[in-house]
Structure 1
Amino acid sequence: MTLQTILLPLFVQVGLTFLLGFWMATERRGVFRRGQLHWRDIALKQTPWPGRAQQVSQAFQNQFEAPILFYVLVVLALATKKADFAFVVMEWLFVASRIAQAFVHTTSNHVPTRGQLYMFGVIVLFLMWAIFAIRILFPSAFGVL
């Protein structure tokens, strides 16, 4: 697998995080501009943000939970040369689940659907880590993984 092929899903995930971050800033700026909130209301990390601003903010914050493990794994897989076609497919599945979960979070915010998408991504990420660990710890016993 080429470096670009392996890193493209990571770049897409990073792009999603920045997109949500800029969107969050725009929503929050609008809240202040409309006078719905004053900076003193949030100075000590209170969360009195109106619904839409809070919704986008939480979608942004979600990009710093499970994706951290994704970033670390991609770097380790590159460094150890364990990123193959199956790894890249699972990368895309994880990133697609994050995009879909962020979409649901910032639109309908249907919690059951959002939760299912989150769990799908976490399961994919768990499998990625499990396969990677097996390949590292037992290279000759499980060479086909």
Structure 2
Amino acid sequence: MSLTMVLLPVFVEVGLTFALLFWNKARAQASDAADEFGLPTLFYALIAIALPLRHADLVIVLLSWVFVVTRFVNAGLVSGAKDSRGLAWTASALVLLAMWLYFALKILLLL
């Protein structure tokens, strides 16, 4: 995978994180801030580890995009209807968990 293909979803997620930080600053609650920074930190860490180890393949890139899309859905729900927010957050958490499991198995099984 090219560096651009791997890092593009990371850059989009960084942009979303900063946009939510500044846009919601006046009305953000502590739980909203924790939701917006907890999962992305794990996402950034995964990409930062996968890149130098050359394990950022097509599966990682595709799951990265799915993760970023679910974060956008969660961000839209944070700004609007809070009732459905849990489902979007859970979806993004499960995608990120799948990414970490895939990455860990590739490393541990020497794939």
One fold, TM greater than 0.5? Answer: yes
Flag the structure with more relative contact order, 1 or 2, with Cα contacts below 8 A and sequence separation at least 6: 2
Paired residues in the alignment total 111
Q: 1:86-129: per-residue Cα shift (whole Å, max 9, x none)? A: 1101000111111100101111222xx21111111111111111
Give % identity: 38
Q: Aligned runs of 1:113-124 on 2, under 5 Å? A: 113-124=84-95
Q: Does 1:54 align with 2:54?
A: no
Could you tell me how far apart the structure 1 residues matched to 2:69 and 2:92 are? 8
Q: Does 1:76 align with 2:49?
A: yes
**Could you tell me which residue of structure 2 aligns to residue 67 of structure 1?**
40
Q: Which amino acid aligns with 1:99?
A: F
TM normalised by structure 2 equals: 0.91
Q: Does 1:128 align with 2:99?
A: yes
Unmatched segments (≥5 aa) in structure 2? none
TM normalised by structure 1 equals: 0.71
The 3-state SS of whatever aligns with 1:79 is coil
Shift of 1:61: 3.7
Runs of 4+ off more than 3 Å: 57-61
**Is the 1:59–1:106 Cα contact (8 Å) retained in structure 2?**
no
Could you tell me how far apart the structure 1 residues matched to 2:70 and 2:57 are? 20
Could you tell me how far apart the structure 1 residues matched to 2:108 and 2:48 are? 17
Q: Aligned runs of 1:1-145 on 2, under 5 Å? A: 1-25=1-25, 28=26, 53-54=27-28, 58-110=31-83, 113-139=84-110, 143=111
**Is the 1:98–1:121 Cα contact (8 Å) retained in structure 2?**
yes
Q: Which amino acid aligns with 1:133?
A: A
Q: Which amino acid aligns with 1:89?
A: L
Could you tell me how far apart the structure 2 residues matched to 1:9 and 1:116 are? 21
Note the aligned Cα RMSD (angstroms).
Answer: 1.5
Q: 1:6-35: per-residue Cα shift (whole Å, max 9, x none)? A: 01111111101111112134xx3xxxxxxx
